[in-house]
Amino acid sequence: MRSAASMQAGERRLSLLVTVLAYAMPVIFVLVPLAIFLVYSFFSVDQGTIVYAPTLGNYIRFFTDPIFLPVFWNTIILCLSVAVICILLAYPTAYFLTTLKGRWRYALLMLLLVPLLMSYVIKIYAIRSILGLNGFLNKALVALGILDQPSTLFVFNMNAILLTLTLLLIPFAILPIFLSLERIPQTLLRASDDLGASGLQTFLRITLPLSLPGVASAASFVFVLAIGDFLTPQMVGGISGFTFGRILYSQFGTAYNWPFGAALSVALAIVVILAILIGERFGRNRGSSV
Amino acid sequence: MSQNTDLLTLRSVSKSYGKVPVLHGIDLSIRDGEFLTVLGPSGSGKTTVLRLIGGLEPLSSGEIRLDGHDISRMPINRRPFNTVFQDYALFPHMTVSGNVGYGLSVRHIKRKEIASRVAKALDLVQLGRFADRFPAQLSGGQRQRVALARALICQPRLILLDEPLAALDLELRRQMQEFLKSIQREIKTTFLFVTHDQEEAIGMADRICVMQAGHIRQLGTPHELYYRPNCEFVARFFGENNLVAGKLGTVQGEQRSIETALGRLVCSVSDQPHLKAAPDGAGAFAAFRPEALRLADTRDSDNHFGGTIADLAFAGSSTVATITAGPDSAAQRLRLRMPSRIDGSALKSGEPVSLSFAPHEGHLVLA
């Protein structure tokens, strides 16, 4: 019989390895790249080669050049709008799901989440063809007599980006809202009825406040995913639909100005981190246990 | 407030979930101002009774009348009853005063009046200092009292309590029992209290309704249930008891004999006409409480039989002896409870003893 002590030592080594890995993964794959970006944002480019001398030039350019800040703000507004529209559409959907019984509830939820399994690019193509001049949306509006002739209002502009991002990201809003609604104990709603509240009062004073954490995480999910997306604006935005993501992408892919791209990324990362922190702040409920 | 007028009447109320019946046409009258406890093992339908009265679930058939008016189909938020839920169901996002004032604020009562009534209710349950805390910051007993204040602030005709003490530890449960009882006396509101704990039921109730398998087995004061159970289930379920099977013999005044494995026993049948009327030879049980059973020295007393001590258990103020009695073919296990003595019991395991109980301390239940 091999001694139990050596077995124990082996187990201890294994658990140490697991611990190291658990900490190393986020450090190597998240923190280190972020740090590299931060460092690069203080370099500059001269005739296509990176100059490794620290400078604040990139940040000065970002704040003073008349192009970047307006696009930055517009993109933030756009993504906030996407988040708001997603929430407005997802909340009733999620609420409806929680009113369903047992099997139906999860079957329908799965159905709503199926788009997440499909390729992002294919979905954008599909939505673009719906929004286009000969697309389903225009045909339907003309057929219903709402429009006289097909409109170019829905594709290759900001509207197109807004609609497409909303459609793409709605599942990310439904899921957290559904989970937070489902977690509300039924007895709380019965207690509210019992104390004389009407259905509407119960919804406004119990269900809604208790589901706000889910709404907050849904909003920050959608906002963060929307603001980081450059593919959707690229494909449906045309010339007028210019977003911060596209500028960022062009710095790396077209202009080969990595240090400036890194500086823009840092600006974006700050917004994303703020969004996550705000989502987290409101996502936590006061005294969440009953 | 008179205790003799009926506040709420259930008439042949039945309830089934799908095809599974849980209540079989029960009749029950709740008197105005009483503390009525519904007692039963789990699955007896006791919580269903409460949920039907509260309006949390619709009845399958029958009717519920309040002051003589049918309220069976009245929606839950219109019924003048309030419930204290088993898990308290406090709103986690509201403070204590928010919770307590909820029932008033949904009725659009003025904020000033709500504040003063909340303060009064919190004083009543001795939680004035905790008005601004959230439920998560309170102990179990405090949450319990918030739930109670939240229910009674609406001045309901009836307060429904669904095993509200089940989650508390023993000492706290005793305190809360006294507390509930004193509050009930103070506000003079009718309480309907559901529990599976008979000690709780005895300690608090004016009347107890014993339920089993969707039927009401007996409704009466704790004293009646303890000393005059009307069926085998109540006799066995309610308090410790000795039941000895036999066949009914003759009636002699307020007593009737029964032939058992322990010989001929005589028990009281006063105020129990159905036992007087039962035919000779009918199957029945002689029932006598462990504290009614005595060690007898004299052989001339009634209900006298011999036995052997199988076990002795010291239980603080009393000592319980487990005794085997009767012929080997039909040996009966009996319990005898006697006051403990500081110098110990003179009895030892394995010792033969002679036992008896007084006829008026024994009773009969039909098998």
Residue B279 three-state SS: coil
Asked whether the beta carbons of residue A187 and residue B85 sit closer than 8 angstroms, the reply is yes
Amino acid A133: pLDDT: 85
Give the separation between CA B35 and CA B184, rounded to whole angstroms.
8
User: What is residue A151's DSSP assignment?
Assistant: -
Amino acid A3: pLDDT: 63
The segment(s) of chain B belonging to CATH 2.40.50.140 are 241-366
CB nearest to A190's CB, from B56, B75, B102: B56
Does A195 contact chain B (CB < 8 Å)? yes
Which residues touch A241 (CB under 8 Å, ≥6 apart)?
Answer: A156, A157, A158, A160, A161, A233
> E strands within chain B?
6-17, 20-31, 35-39, 61-66, 69-70, 81-84, 158-162, 190-195, 207-212, 215-220, 242-252, 255-260, 263-268, 283-288, 294-295, 304-315, 318-325, 332-339, 352-356, 362-366
> Which fold, B241-366?
OB fold (Dihydrolipoamide Acetyltransferase, E2P) (2.40.50)
Give the separation between CA B205 and CA B208, rounded to whole angstroms.
6
Q: Which overall architecture, per CATH, does domain B6-227 show?
A: 3-Layer(aba) Sandwich (3.40)
Structure confidence by residue, pLDDT tens digits, A50-101: 888 899 999 999 999 998 999 999 999 999 999 999 999 999 999 999 999 8
B256 min Cα distance to partner chain A (Å): 51
Answer whether residue B108 shows pLDDT above 60.
Answer: yes
End-to-end Cα, chain B, rounded Å: 40
Contacts with B107 from chain A: Cβ below 8 Å: 196
A287 min Cα distance to partner chain B (Å): 5
**Which residues of chain A are modeled with pLDDT < 70?**
1-4, 284-290
- What is the rounded average pLDDT for all residues in chain B? 88
Does A64 contact chain B (CB < 8 Å)? no
Amino acid B366: pLDDT: 87
Answer whether residue B118 shows pLDDT above 90.
Answer: yes
Amino acid B131: pLDDT: 92
Residue B2 — very low, low, confident or very high, per pLDDT cuts 50/70/90? very low
CB nearest to B92's CB, from A193, A201, A289: A289
Q: For residue A98, how far is the Cα from the chain centroid?
A: 23
Structure confidence by residue, pLDDT tens digits, B268-285: 888 888 888 888 888 899
CB nearest to B92's CB, from A193, A195, A287: A287
Contacts with A185 from chain B: Cβ below 8 Å: 87, 89
Structure confidence by residue, pLDDT tens digits, B282-330: 889 999 999 988 887 666 667 888 888 888 888 888 888 899 888 877 7
Report which secondary-structure segment, H or E, holds A87. Answer: helix A68-99
Give the residue from A101, A187, A194, A198 with the most B CB atoms within 10 Å of its CB, the best one to mutate.
A194
The segment(s) of chain B belonging to CATH 3.40.50.300 are 6-227
Residue B1 — very low, low, confident or very high, per pLDDT cuts 50/70/90? very low
Complex ipTM over 0.90: no
Amino acid B297: pLDDT: 65
**Domains defined for chain A, CATH in brackets:** 65-283 (1.10.3720.10)
A110 min Cα distance to partner chain B (Å): 28
Structure confidence by residue, pLDDT tens digits, B214-225: 999 999 999 989
Amino acid A289: pLDDT: 40
Between β-strands B207-212 and B35-39, what pairing exists: parallel, antiparallel or unpaired? parallel
Tokens of residue A227, six digits = 């603001």
Q: pTM higher than 0.90, yes or no?
A: no
The percent of residues above 90 in pLDDT, for chain B, comes to: 44
CB nearest to A193's CB, from B77, B91, B134: B77
B56 min Cα distance to partner chain A (Å): 7
Report which secondary-structure segment, H or E, holds A49. Answer: strand A49-51
Amino acid A288: pLDDT: 45
Q: For residue A130, how far is the Cα from the chain centroid?
A: 23
